[in-house]
């Protein structure tokens, strides 16, 4: 008869940090704000993380890498944790986030055009006049 119980490797916070590449303080912060669950404690009062914590932290980190805010991450996790998420609900959150990303890209392109134009006007000479400073002090 096969043993269907798999052994669960207990990890400390430092182990979790090494496995995921996440900073210890960030893990602590995620626990404090509730996006990472408070792990159970060992008999010696150490935090006992397991693979489920690794998976959740990687999910959070990947969502953050894609620019999701912590509130958006919470919304995604609520759908996942509830076990009733639909692709449509997730898509709605992703579409909203994508619109925000596109708006930021448009803003960055506008900033690039203005800076590029302003820097091109700058001679770089040792004179007090400077188009960059003028553009920054200009009242719009």
111 and 140 in a single domain? The answer is: yes
Answer yes or no: is 14 within a domain.
Answer: yes
Q: What is the CATH number of the domain that holds 32?
A: 1.10.1660.10
Q: Is 131 among the domain residues?
A: yes
Task: Report yes or no on 44 lying in a domain.
Answer: yes
pLDDT band at 1; cut points 50, 70, 90? very low
Where helices occur in the chain by DSSP H, the ranges are 13-20, 24-33, 51-65, 70-82, 87-121, 131-137
Answer yes or no: is pLDDT of 18 > 50: yes
Position 2 in a domain: no
The answer to whether residues 47 and 20 belong to one domain is yes
Inter-residue contact 38 to 72 (CB < 8 Å): no
pTM over 0.75: yes
Give how many domains the chain has, as a whole number.
Answer: 2
Q: Which of 15, 34, 68 is the last residue of a domain?
A: 68
- Is 80 part of any domain? no
Return mean pLDDT, the chain.
89
In a domain, 81, yes or no: no
Contact 51, 8 (CB under 8 A): yes
Tens digit of each residue's pLDDT (9 = 90 or more) over 27-64:
999 999 999 999 999 999 999 999 999 999 999 999 99
Rounded mean pLDDT of 117-125? Answer: 83
Flag the least confident range among 15-29, 70-84, 118-132. Answer: 118-132
12 versus 83: the higher-pLDDT residue is: 12
Are 73 and 60 within 8 A, CB to CB?
yes
Question: What percent of the chain has pLDDT above 90?
Answer: 64
Query: Domain for residue 23, yes or no?
Result: yes
| pLDDT at position 77 | 93
Is 76 contained in some domain? no
What pLDDT is recorded for position 36?
A: 97
Per-residue pLDDT, 97: 96
Residue 137 domain boundaries:
86-140
Q: Are residues 92 and 136 in the same domain?
A: yes
Are residue 51 and residue 12 in the same domain, yes or no?
yes
């Amino acid at each position: 008869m096969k043993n269907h119980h798999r052994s669960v490797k207990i990890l400390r916070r430092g182990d979790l940090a090494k496995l995921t590449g996440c900073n210890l303080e960030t893990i602590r912060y995620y626990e404090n704000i509730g996006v990472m669950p408070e792990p159970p404690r060992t008999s010696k009062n150490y935090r006992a993380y397991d693979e489920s914590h690794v998976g959740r932290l990687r999910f959070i980190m990947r969502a953050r890498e894609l620019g999701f805010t912590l509130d958006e991450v919470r919304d995604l996790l609520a759908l996942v944790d509830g076990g009733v998420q639909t692709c449509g609900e997730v898509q709605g959150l992703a579409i909203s986030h994508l619109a925000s990303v596109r708006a930021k890209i448009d803003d960055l392109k506008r900033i690039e055009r203005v800076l590029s134009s302003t820097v091109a006007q700058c001679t770089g000479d040792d004179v007090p006049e400077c188009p960059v400073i003028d553009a920054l002090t200009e009242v719009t």
